[in-house]
Chain A
Amino acid sequence: MNSNYLNEKTVEGVLATDRDAANEISGENTVRVATAGYQAEFPYERDEEAQVTRREFCNFLFLTSSALFLGSAGFAGKLAYNASFPKSFSPMKIEGAEALAPGNALNFHYPKENDTAILIRAADGGYYAYEQKCTHLTCPVYYSKSNDRIECPCHEGGFDVHTGNVLYGPPPRPLDLIKIEIRDGGEIWAVGKITGGEHESA
Chain B
Amino acid sequence: MNQLEEREIKPVETASRNIQTGGRTAIWQARLVLLVMINIAQLWILSATIEAALAAHYKQLIPLVIASGVCWLLALSIFLWWKPAEKRQGPQQIVRNR
- Tell me if chain B binds chain A: yes
- Say whether chain B's binding surface is mostly helix, strand, loop, or mixed: helix
Q: In the bound complex, do residue A69 and residue B53 qualify as a contact, i.e. CB atoms below 8 Å apart? A: no
A161 CB to nearest B CB, Å = 21
Q: In the bound complex, do residue A54 and residue B56 qualify as a contact, i.e. CB atoms below 8 Å apart? A: no
Q: In the bound complex, do residue B76 and residue A58 qualify as a contact, i.e. CB atoms below 8 Å apart? A: no
Specify which of A61, A62, A79, A196 is in contact with B58 (CB 8 Å cutoff): A79
Given A83-B58, A195-B56, residue A72 in contact with residue B45 (CB < 8 A)? yes
Q: Which residues of A contact B57 (CB under 8 A)?
A: 172-173, 197
Q: Which residues of B contact A197 (CB under 8 A)?
A: 55-57
Q: In the bound complex, do residue B72 and residue A65 qualify as a contact, i.e. CB atoms below 8 Å apart? A: yes
Interface residues on A, range: 20 to 34
Q: In the bound complex, do residue A61 and residue B75 qualify as a contact, i.e. CB atoms below 8 Å apart? A: yes
Q: In the bound complex, do residue B61 and residue A80 qualify as a contact, i.e. CB atoms below 8 Å apart? A: yes
Q: In the bound complex, do residue A58 and residue B32 qualify as a contact, i.e. CB atoms below 8 Å apart? A: yes
List B32-56 residues whose CB lies under 8 Å from chain A.
Answer: 32, 35-36, 38-39, 42-43, 45-46, 49-51, 53-56
Q: In the bound complex, do residue A65 and residue B55 qualify as a contact, i.e. CB atoms below 8 Å apart? A: no
Specify which of B39, B53, B56, B76 is in contact with A68 (CB 8 Å cutoff): B39
Specify which of B43, B64, B79 is in contact with A62 (CB 8 Å cutoff): B79
Closest chain A residue to B60, Cβ basis:
A76
Q: In the bound complex, do residue A76 and residue B49 qualify as a contact, i.e. CB atoms below 8 Å apart? A: yes
Interface residues on B, range: 20 to 34
- Say whether chain A's binding surface is mostly helix, strand, loop, or mixed: helix
- A156 on the B face (CB < 8 A): no
Specify which of A64, A76, A80, A135 is in contact with B55 (CB 8 Å cutoff): A135
Closest chain B residue to A200, Cβ basis:
B56
Q: Which residues of A contact B31 (CB under 8 A)?
A: 58
Q: Which residues of B contact A77 (CB under 8 A)?
A: 65
- A26 on the B face (CB < 8 A): no
Given A76-B61, A80-B61, A198-B56, residue A69 in contact with residue B69 (CB < 8 A)? yes
Which residues of A approach B to under 8 Å, CB–CB? 54, 57-59, 61-62, 64-66, 68-69, 71-73, 75-77, 79-80, 83, 135, 172-173, 195-198
Q: 27 A-B Cβ contacts within 8 A? A: A54-B32, A58-B31, A58-B32, A61-B75, A62-B76, A64-B39, A65-B76, A68-B42, A68-B46, A68-B68, A68-B71, A69-B68, A69-B69, A69-B72, A72-B64, A72-B68, A73-B68, A76-B62, A76-B65, A77-B65, A79-B53, A83-B58, A135-B54, A172-B51, A172-B57, A196-B56, A197-B57
Interface pairs A-B: 7 shortest CB-CB: A61-B35, A68-B42, A65-B75, A172-B55, A69-B72, A76-B61, A72-B68
Query: A61-B32, A75-B49 known; 5 other A-B pairs, CB under 8 Å?
Result: A65-B39, A69-B69, A72-B49, A83-B56, A196-B56
